[in-house]
């Protein structure tokens, strides 16, 4: 459901056509989240129906017109609401990145809380993995098959560790933003 919020964020940074969104899907959001153009057109129409965005139609009387989408205040409100809502979703990591982007455009919205929540759950996961590791793979006479299974587990451990390291460096940036307020300092 949150592809809509990714699109809103992207449109806030720069009003675009559906095609434009599809080709770049925003510098930085597109790197971890790709969407097909059909998906994007569908969601844009839905968001237009919901009053979150408007399509400014250019071009003459041709049947198919170039539509440049822009975010309305209702869309901004929805985005704010979403950022402030704990996700609980399976890919809350990706969602967090979108929330950070949204904060970068709109100012402090409460993404810090989400970062802290996620940090706690990643720490918990890491602890679980390590427990499994010491239970199942602590011996030094592992068969080749066991070594492979261990490597699979290591992937999980490394991912969690690297995520936590990232979060630790990201927190101060978020707090700095929230301390300064939505507008740039002068």
Which residues make up the interface to its own copies (CB under 8 A)? 27-29, 31-32, 34, 90, 97, 100-101, 103-105, 129, 132, 136, 143-149, 151-156, 158-159, 161-163, 165-166, 169-170, 173-174, 176-177, 180, 184
Least separation in angstroms between residue 10's CB and its own copies is 12
CB under 5 to 8 A by kind: which of DNA, its own copies, none does 75 bind? none
Which residues make up the interface to DNA (CB under 7 A)? 1, 3, 17-20, 22-23, 35-39, 41, 43-45, 59-60, 62-68, 90
- Give Cα separations from 158 to 23, 138, 144 (angstroms): 32, 17, 21
Least separation in angstroms between residue 122's CB and DNA is 20
Residues 107, 126: Cα–Cα separation, whole Å? 31
Least separation in angstroms between residue 146's CB and DNA is 26
User: Residue for token digits 């998906």?
Assistant: 39
Of how many residues is the chain composed?
A: 186
Residues 154, 149: Cα–Cα separation, whole Å? 9
Contact 151, 129 (CB under 8 A): no
């Amino acid at each position: 459901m949150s592809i809509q919020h990714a699109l809103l964020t992207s449109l806030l940074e720069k009003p675009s056509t559906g095609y434009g969104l599809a080709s770049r899907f925003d510098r930085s959001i597109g790197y971890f989240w790709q969407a097909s153009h059909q998906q994007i057109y569908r969601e844009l129409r839905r968001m237009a129906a919901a009053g979150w965005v408007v399509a400014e139609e250019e071009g003459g009387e041709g049947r198919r017109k170039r539509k440049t989408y822009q975010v309305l205040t209702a869309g901004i409100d929805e985005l704010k609401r979403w950022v402030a809502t704990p996700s609980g979703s399976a890919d809350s990591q990706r969602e967090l990145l979108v929330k950070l982007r949204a904060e970068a455009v709109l100012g402090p919205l409460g993404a810090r809380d989400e970062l802290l929540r996620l940090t706690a759950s990643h720490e918990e996961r890491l602890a679980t993995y390590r427990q499994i590791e010491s239970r199942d793979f602590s011996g030094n006479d592992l068969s080749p098959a066991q070594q492979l299974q261990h490597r699979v587990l290591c992937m999980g451990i490394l991912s969690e560790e690297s995520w936590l390291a990232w979060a630790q460096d990201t927190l101060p940036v978020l707090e700095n933003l929230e301390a300064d307020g939505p507008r740039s300092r002068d």
